[in-house]
Amino acid sequence: MTKVGPKDLAILGGTPAFASPLHVGRPNVGDRAVLLDRINDILDRRWFTNNGFYVQELERRLAELTGARHVIAMANGTVALEIAIRALDLTGEVILPSMTFVATAHALQWQQIQPVFCDVDPRTFTLDPNRIAELITPRTTGILGVHLWGRVCDVEALSEIAVAHGLKLLFDAAHAFHTSHQGRMVGSFGDAEVFSFHATKFFNTFEGGAVATNDDELAAKIRLMKNFGFAGYDNVIHIGTNGKMPEISAAMGLTGLESLEDFVETNRSNYHRYRRELDGLAGVRLWSYPEAERSNYQYIVLDIDETAAGLSRDDLAAILWAENVLARRYFYPGCHAMEPYRTLYPEAAGRLPVTECLVGRTLVLPTGTAVTPAEIGEVCEIVRFALAQGGEIKALMAREVAYA
């Protein structure tokens, strides 16, 4: 792709760089023939759900990978969060970041638990332990940390706070499957950790999730709750719901696990390609992964300083979308600025200065097995060109809007 001037940008009437959209989170697919063999086996067995062979095998493999004593597969990550929250007997208020996907907050509010939004550390973008104590009240029952973009929370500090105040500690690990912290795999921190295996995650089960825990009693309770409270045939002993993962999803998961290291290597290679291509750009910082830890390299995140870059995050997003590069503004505008939270808790924004800043600066670019190295090169060329011509592009964009 060769640009000769700002007017070649599609947003100003030029031809998009990509004929078909490049998506963030386009699904990875393992060995299709193996998956289809498993699906045929499921059809032959005529056991489609209710803790079948493939779900049990997936749970066993996930426990081996994470090092957790128990991994309970679920229909999706949100249901897994909701069940974990209820199994931990959380009530009243729970402290969590606003810089997360809205499902984290919804899982609490849905059960009439107040999400108390806490600011994040500007270096890691994860829950700031130094801001938690001021939010604890007699109604606080737990802390819900979020491992963001594969960067693990300060689990040691959060654990100390939880123990000191008698709080439960739960982690939303939707971004952190197959990552480690100080050499220990995510899955056994806190009272429990919750994974998402949604199609957009680098490891997916079409749709799915799981709860991982080392607590035997909690695991038994969660297994009851995900299956209507059944303990054997015709024997309901606990309140429950339908959170079961079907066999076809487990088959997809097992097939994906067999290609897991290939997925990670592709993500890692893509990350380093982006790093080489975008290194040195004024006002742009590429989110880094700790090289000493195991990482899934699932997200390519830009932090854009408008003053230094000459373009805002939203300007750059608009340019990329016009070129068919569907970059995402994760996580804009923050849960606290969405409904029903901005109406229920209007005071939250005042205690989230770091979050308020970051949600206007971050942009996620496409990666994964569906994106080629050449396409990454073209995406980076668009970014470099847009930033190099930022002032002229902004003026032309403003003129186009004025004439519209």
220-278 pLDDT tens trace: 999 999 999 999 999 999 999 999 999 999 999 999 999 999 999 999 999 999 999 99
Distance CA 26, CA 300 (A): 13
Tokens coding 170? 């739960």
> What pLDDT score was predicted for residue 13?
84
**All domains of the chain in start order, with CATH:** 6-28+260-327+366-403 (3.90.1150.10), 32-258 (3.40.640.10)
Beta strands 168-172; 140-146: pairing state: parallel
Nearest to 203 by CA among 49, 74, 368: 368
What mean pLDDT is predicted for residues 183-212? Answer: 98
Question: Which residues face 193 on adjacent strands?
Answer: 171, 212
Q: Which residues contact 115 (CB under 8 A, 6 or more apart)?
A: 93, 94, 96, 104, 105, 108, 109, 335, 341, 345
Indicate the Cα dihedral angle 333, 320, 387, 356, nearest 10°: 0
State phi, psi for 180 to the nearest 5 degrees: -130, 160
317 SS3 class:
helix
3-state secondary structure of 185: strand
Question: pLDDT-based confidence at 402, cuts 50/70/90?
Answer: low
CB 67 within 8 Å of CB 188: yes
**What mean pLDDT is predicted for residues 14-38?**
95
Q: Residues 154, 155, 156, 159: what is their CA dihedral angle, to the nearest 10 degrees?
A: 130
SS3 78: helix
Tell me the C-alpha distance between 293 and 365, whole Å.
Answer: 22
Distance (Å, whole) CA 186 – CA 178? 7
- Rounded to whole angstroms, the Cα distance separating 333 from 356 reads 8
CB-CB contact of 187 with 173 (8 Å): yes
When the pLDDT of each residue in the chain is averaged and rounded to a whole number, the result is 95
| Residue 303 clears pLDDT 50, i.e. is over it | yes
- The helix/strand/coil state of 292 is coil
Q: Is 269 left (phi over 0), alpha (psi -120 to 50) or beta?
A: alpha
Q: Give the C-alpha separation, 114 to 187, whole Å.
A: 25
What is the pTM assigned to this prediction? Answer: 0.95
Q: What is the pLDDT of residues 351-388, one digit of tens each?
A: 999 999 999 999 999 999 999 999 999 999 999 999 99
Query: Could you identify the residue written with the tokens 């409904």?
Result: 339
Mean pLDDT of 304-315: 95
Closest CA to 352 of 331, 337, 330: 337
Q: What is the mean pLDDT of residues 324-339?
A: 97
pLDDT in tens, 81-137: 999 999 999 999 999 999 999 999 999 999 999 999 999 999 999 999 999 999 999
Compute how many other C-beta atoms are within 10 angstroms of the C-beta atom of residue 32. 9
Give the H/E segment covering residue 326.
Answer: strand 325-326
Burial 188-198 (b: 16+ CB within 10 A, else e): bbbbbbbbbbb
4: pLDDT confidence band, cut at 50, 70 and 90?
Answer: very low
Is 326's pLDDT higher than 60?
yes
Cα(383)–Cα(273) distance, rounded to whole angstroms? 14
Residue 404 has pLDDT above 60, yes or no: no
DSSP 8-state code for residue 358: H
As a residue count, the chain comes to: 404
Backbone angles phi, psi at 251, to 5 degrees: -65, -40
Chain mean position to CA 399: 37
d(CA 172, CA 195): 7
Token output for 140: 């606080």
